[in-house]
Structure 1
Amino acid sequence: MDADACPVKEEITDISKVFGLKVIFIASNAHRKNTPEAGEWVYVDSSKEAADLYIMNHIKKGDLLVTQDIGLASIVLPKGVYAISPRGKEFREETISTALDFRYLSAKERRKGKFGKGPKPYTAEDRDRFVFTFKKILSNFAGNQ
């Protein structure tokens, strides 16, 4: 779990307990908490991509990653990892290249000085969609064992 700035940590821990799954949060030292949520916490260097690099090097087939980073999702999907966003969007190998293309075009526009409105505020509907998708994936895991 890419824990830096993730709005659904509590939902992840609560739902994972129901399914009897271990949760590992990966966060930079800059996001260290005095009283972290339940689950195992791994803190990495505060450099820009340290959490992503840790995840890429430790995640394995069948794991479920929660991240808002499309680039990170695109790297772990070919490993047989499930990836979803905190808004409940399931990343899939067949559609990730389109998402990466849009990310590239947006970055290109920003370099030209054209800035959009930024991400939409996180809503209760986003949280509900996340919970639904997260439970659906974990239920599929349970059904395949």
Structure 2
Amino acid sequence: MTTLYIDADACPVKDEAERVATRHRIPMKLVSNGGLRPSRNPLVDIIVVDAGPDVADMWIADRAKRGDVVVTSDMPLAAKCVEAGAQVLRHDGSALTQANIGQQLAMRDLMADLRAADPFRQGGGKAFGKADRSRFLDALDRALHAARKQV
């Protein structure tokens, strides 16, 4: 059975993901270190893991498999899930695949090095907007259709 896993800490599209998962009747796991409001939706499980670096990521990585969809912006988690055969989406709807995950990991490492070398180069990036939400909704809908065919 297809499951939708959400790396829920700082995820801006939890509500959108819940709507799409409900429409597809797909169970959804919101995984975080805490601080999430409970959902009345019977398809949504709130998974609260112990505090600590990457504990939520490890929980998802241990369970995601072919036929599942994972939503995350964490590149090491995305790489593990892609390797396991799951479909992976960023919050803006862009897909992370075998073809692009290596480049994304390298870019993540490069940007970390640049931020470490220049204390004034912090944050940045564009704001998350309506177009990103729209792309995410469309991409998640397509990913869930494709994932169901893999099971």
TM-score (norm 2): 0.86
Query: CA offsets per residue over residues 18-41 of structure 1, 9 Å max, x none?
Result: 111111110103x343x4463101
Structure 1: give runs of 5+ residues left out of the alignment: none
Distance in 1, Cα, partners of 2:123 & 2:52: 27
**Match of 2:113?**
108
Inter-CA distance 50–141: structure 2 relative to 1 (3 Å threshold): closer
Corresponding residue to 1:122 among 96, 106, 128: 128
Say if 2:67 and 2:149, in contact at 8 Å, map to a contact too.
Answer: no
Give 1 or 2: higher helix fraction: 1
Q: Which residue of 1 aligns with 2:3?
A: none
Aligned to 2:13: 8
Whichever residue aligns with residue 47 of structure 2, its letter is V
**What one-letter code is carried by the residue in structure 1 that aligns with 2:109?**
Y
Which ranges of 4 or more aligned residues in structure 1 deviate by more than 4 Å?
142-145
AA aligned to 2:82 is L
Q: Secondary structure, in 3 states, of the residue corresponding to 2:32?
A: strand
CA distance in 2, matches of 1:131, 1:51: 23
Equivalent runs, 1:17-28 vs 2, <5 Å? 17-28=22-33
Once the two structures are TM-superposed, the CA of residue 117 in structure 1 deviates from its matched residue by 5.0
Alignment of 1:35-54 (within 5 A): 35-36=38-39, 38=41, 39-54=44-59
**Distance (whole Å) between structure 1 residues aligned to residue 96 and residue 10 of structure 2:** 19
Q: TM-score, normalised by structure 1?
A: 0.89
- 1:140 is displaced (CA, Å) by 2.5
The AA in structure 2 aligned to 1:134 is L
State the structure with bigger RCO (CA 8 A, min sep 6), 1 or 2.
2
RMSD (Å), alpha carbons: 1.8
Q: Distance in 2 between matches of 1:65 and 1:89?
A: 12
* 8 Å Cα contact 1:2-1:52 kept in structure 2: yes
The whole-number CA distance in structure 2 between the counterparts of 1:120 and 1:27 is 24
Distance 2:62 2:8 in 1: 16
Give the whole-Å Cα distance in 2 for the aligned partners of 1:76 and 1:44.
Answer: 18
Instruction: State the one-letter code of the partner of 2:84.
Output: K
For the residues of structure 1 that align with 2:146 and 2:23, how far apart are their CA atoms? 14
In 2: Cα distance, 1:58 partner to 1:143 partner: 19
1:5 alignment partner AA: A
